Structure 1
Amino acid sequence: MSREFSQMDKQIFDKLAPEAGGSTMSGMGHNYPFILRPISHRIAQSAEDFRNRLERLDATELDYLVGLAMEDKEDIRSLEDEDVESFMEFVRERISPEREKELKAKLGLV
Structure 2
Amino acid sequence: MSREFSQMDKQIFDKLAPEAGGSTMSKMGHSYPFILRPISHKIAQSAEDFRERLEKLDTTELDYLVELAMEEKEDIRSLEEEDVDSFMELIRNKLSPEREKELKAKLGFA
The TM tier, using the shorter chain, reads over 0.9
Aligned to 1:62: 62
Query: Root-mean-square deviation (CA), in Å?
Result: 0.3
1:18-57 CA-partner distances (Å, limit 9, x unpaired): 0000000001101000000000000000000000000110
SS state at 1:61 partner: helix
Tell me the TM-score normalised to structure 2 length: 0.99
Alignment partner, residue 23 of structure 1: 23
For 2:71, the equivalent position in structure 1 comes to 71
Q: Specify the code of the residue in structure 2 equivalent to 1:39.
A: I
Counterpart of 1:95 in structure 2 is 95
The answer to whether the aligner puts 1:7 opposite 2:7 as a matched pair is yes
DSSP-derived class of the 1:76 partner: coil
TM-score scaled by length of structure 1? 0.99
Taking the aligned partners of 1:43 and 1:37, their CA distance within structure 2 comes to: 9
| Structure 1 residues not aligned, in runs of 5+ | none
**Cross-structure match for 2:84:** 84
Q: How many Å separate the matches in 1 of 2:28 and 2:89? A: 32
- Looking at structure 2, the residues matched to 68 and 52 of structure 1 have their Cα atoms a distance apart, in angstroms, of 21
Q: How does 1:30-69 map onto structure 2 within 5 Å? A: 30-69=30-69
For residues 55-109 of structure 1, give each alpha carbon's deviation from its aligned partner in whole angstroms, at most 9, with x where no partner exists.
1100110000000000000000100000000000000000000000000000000
State the alpha-carbon separation in 2 of the partners of residues 54 and 30 from structure 1.
Answer: 23
Runs of 4+ deviating beyond 2 Å: none
Cα distance in 2, alignment partners of residues 2 and 71 from structure 1: 14
Instruction: State the aligned residue count.
Output: 110
